[in-house]
Structure 1
């Protein structure tokens, strides 16, 4: 997991080659794809997807890889996940969507992308707040 967050592509390749379970989660429910979306290395995210990781998984707080990429401002990763058909309107435990994450974190290019991809701009979170 640490190698994914830090973007150590060669180490992750080596671990996968030697049988590492890329869909295994840590105590907080984060998998390799979650940590890669936090770290922001598009090559690593692409490798994990090509190796069959679950891009639809959510951690213990309901956060998906897409939400983490949106919140951390990783536009290329957001584009890749959308191309691979991740749910861009998924709602986590607090009622936040990827669009909420992008708005709260001030990632305007990601906001534009999500809206252009059909995200629901009228959906409030559980506190009744809109984007």
Structure 2
């Protein structure tokens, strides 16, 4: 039995324990998860995680929270989402994974984190996706080349990345590929070199003249 003089101290200790225990429960989120990710509100995101909000729920545009974080380069938030169940293989409305979105937007720190957390890297496929999107980011190209991407490997139709960039009129991508050492005279599946492709483009088309000039200045042959 407790001595009467010890009762007030015991009661105080019990009340303190109860109060501290109540503080362990996180407050309910007051901001939509998608918005919390967009504005970088980690506190709200942690509240959503605590209260079991679906981290793989897409917004009306098909973007999952991890896609939003990857596009914005939010490494800490992206890591928090992944470590609490966000899918590494979910695709957005355009069919792109978080890793692809990170590299398309030059967010190589997010990309490295996603790979560390288990995202699979098909470096060649992602390289082609970047080229088709008109990406010319130096760090994104370096990231993929370090992981086995080949600037001169043709796709199923015989087109190497440089052929694709030329045909799509992506001037900055053409320049980046040339600077990284792409073969400027490699023929495609129909035997056309990049310059031959450029010469076949609409002369009034966007970037046509500049692409021809960039190729010719690099020693390309028709």
Asked if residue 130 in structure 1 is aligned to residue 130 in structure 2, the reply is no
Q: Which has the higher contact order (CA 8 A, sep 6+)?
A: 1
Deviates more, 1:5-14 or 1:44-53: 5-14
**SS state of the match for residue 148, structure 2?**
coil
- TM-score, reference length from structure 2: 0.50
Asked if residue 108 in structure 1 is aligned to residue 141 in structure 2, the reply is no
Bigger Rg, which one: 2
Match 1:79 to one of 77, 92, 112: 112
- What is the CA–CA distance in structure 2 between the aligned matches of 1:4 and 1:31, rounded to whole Å? 10
- What is the CA–CA distance in structure 2 between the aligned matches of 1:62 and 1:10, rounded to whole Å? 29
- What is the CA–CA distance in structure 1 between the aligned matches of 2:98 and 2:122, rounded to whole Å? 13
2:61 aligns with 28
Alignment coverage as a number of residue pairs: 126
What's the offset of the Cα at 1:42?
0.4
Pair 7,86 (structure 1): closer, same or farther in 2 beyond 3 Å: same
Deviations 1:85-122 (A, max 9, x none): 3232289xxxxx43245553221112111111123542
Contact 2:36/2:45, CA 8 A, preserved across alignment: yes
Match 2:127 to one of 89, 92, 99: 99
Runs (5+) with no aligned partner, structure 2: 1-33, 163-222
Asked if residue 5 in structure 1 is aligned to residue 46 in structure 2, the reply is no
Contact 1:55/1:65, CA 8 A, preserved across alignment: yes
What's the offset of the Cα at 1:6?
2.2
- What is the CA–CA distance in structure 2 between the aligned matches of 1:13 and 1:111, rounded to whole Å? 33
Asked if residue 56 in structure 1 is aligned to residue 89 in structure 2, the reply is yes
Deviations 1:23-67 (A, max 9, x none): 111223211100111121100011011102111111122111111
Deviates more, 1:102-111 or 1:47-56: 102-111
Pair 10,120 (structure 1): closer, same or farther in 2 beyond 3 Å: farther
Contact 2:123/2:149, CA 8 A, preserved across alignment: no
- TM-score, reference length from structure 1: 0.80
- What is the CA–CA distance in structure 2 between the aligned matches of 1:60 and 1:98, rounded to whole Å? 17
